[in-house]
Structure formats: C-alpha cells, structure tokens
Amino acid sequence: MISSVRERRFHEDFPVTALLLLFNIAFFFLETIGTLRKLGDMSELDIMVPIDPIVTYVLGSISFDDLSRGEYWRLLSAAFLHGSAFHLLLNMVVLFDLGKFCEPFLSSWKFFTAYVASALGSSLASAGYGWLKGNPFRTSVGASGALAGMVGLLLVHSIRQRDTDMRDGLLRWILMLVALSFIMPNIDHAGHAGGLVTGALFGISAPAYMTSRAAYRWRWPAYAAGAMTLVALGISAWSYFARLS
C-alpha cells in the first residue's frame, strides 16, 4: 500500500491572508472595469495609469467630507481600493509576505481583528489630517495603512519581548513601506501613521506564544470586524453597480 500526504494549499494555511488578497484584487477589478468604460480604449490602461478618481469615489475612497455626511462605510472600503495596478501590486506583495508571518503568529482571529482595526485607524487619521490641513475633500485609498499596522504590532512586540531576530526581520517590511513613499505619488503619510499606531496598540497585548484558547477568545472581535467589513464592501459594490453600471 502506498500512502501519500496531500500538500496543503495557501488558503488552507493562511485563510485570512488569502481572503484579504482576494477582496483587494476583486475590487481592483471593479475599479479597472469602471475606468475602462471612461477611457473607452483598453490600450490606454497600463500598470502606472491611475484609476479614475470618480470610480474610486463611488467605490468608497475616504475623506473628512465623506465622514461628515455620515458615510462611515468608507472607513473600511478605502482599505480595499487602490490608485493603480502598480499600487495594488506593491501592497499585495507586502500583504502576502506579512500575512504568512502574522497569521500563524497571532492566530487568524487576532490577525484579522488587528488588520481591520489598523485599516480603521488609518482611515480616521487620513480624514482627520485632511480636516486639520483645511482640505476636507482630500481623499485616500489603499491597504498600506493596515499593513503599516501589522508592522507596528510586530515592532512593539519585538521590543517588549527583546526579540532581536524579529526586530531585524522587520527591516524588510519597513523598507518596503518606505519605498512606497518614494515610488508612489501622493502617499498618505497620515494614514500610514494612523495604521502604525493602531497596530502598535495590538502589539502590547501580543504574547510570546498564542495558545489555542487565547486565540479562540478573539473570535468575537473577529466576527464583529468581519461583519463591519462585509457591510462596508457590500455598500461599496451596491454604490458601484447602482451608479456606474
């Protein structure tokens, strides 16, 4: 008799990371279709051509003006939208890399909760900065604020636990986020800072070893984060098909 062990697939080992990648790519597909309708010629769209700002607005970009009108769903929808294919590619590379480390380290429950909370912190900081600068119409999109939150979480944890290997390993992700600041135009530094600080707060409570029981206690915050995310993305999709189709 010959026995074989089936190799586990990526989405089985890292279900939350896979889901986040899927939603980001799916919503970029909607952005691309909406932009192509305006361009009228697919040959005009390449990796660096920005998505039409009207399309990102309809799908859920964030600004202080939007929040003042009660459109709170944009706090999360903005974290699943991107300004160009290049913007998406850079963020998804970082998400893929960070997710494979963070998800097993924190547990899927806590990873998802911290990611969504960091996205919220990033959006609030971005909108607040626009208000402080006297530009309430300043908009922002992108997953990098939530990703900065994961870096902040790991950085605080590594400092508290005196984990020099983890701290040194963070350099790769920090350099990636810094590179975004120089490669991409109009980088939202306030959003990055908001995500970083929010994630850092989760880093204070990250133990050196996450037991199954401790991880399971995070299921209710994760359910709440999932419900909020689904509502936000549901409104985003409804807005897109109602106003652009």
Q: Both tokens of residue 227?
A: 């419900």
| Residues known to be catalytic | 144, 192
- The chain-wide mean pLDDT, for the chain, equals 87
Question: pLDDT digits over 21-77, tens only?
Answer: 999 999 999 999 998 877 665 555 555 568 999 999 999 999 999 999 999 999 999
Q: What is the domain partition of the chain in residue ranges? A: 13-244
Q: Which residues, at least 6 apart from 60, have a Cβ–Cβ distance to it below 8 Å?
A: 73, 74, 77, 78, 80, 81, 232, 235, 236, 239
pLDDT at 50: 82
Handedness of CA 171, 118, 63, 236 (dihedral sign): positive
- CATH H-level, domain 13-244: superfamily: Rhomboid-like (1.20.1540.10)
Given a cut of 70, is residue 4 above it in pLDDT? no
pLDDT at 215: 76
pLDDT at 21: 98
Given a cut of 90, is residue 171 above it in pLDDT? no
Across the range 202-225, mean pLDDT stands at 81
Name the residue with higher pLDDT: 4 or 134. Answer: 134
DSSP characters for 69-131?
TT-TTHHHHGGG--SSHHHHHHHHHHHHHHHHHHHHHH-HHHHHHHHHHHHHHHHHHHHHHHH
Cβ(25)–Cβ(32) below 8 Å? no
Question: pLDDT digits over 140-149, tens only?
Answer: 999 999 999 9
pLDDT at 1: 45
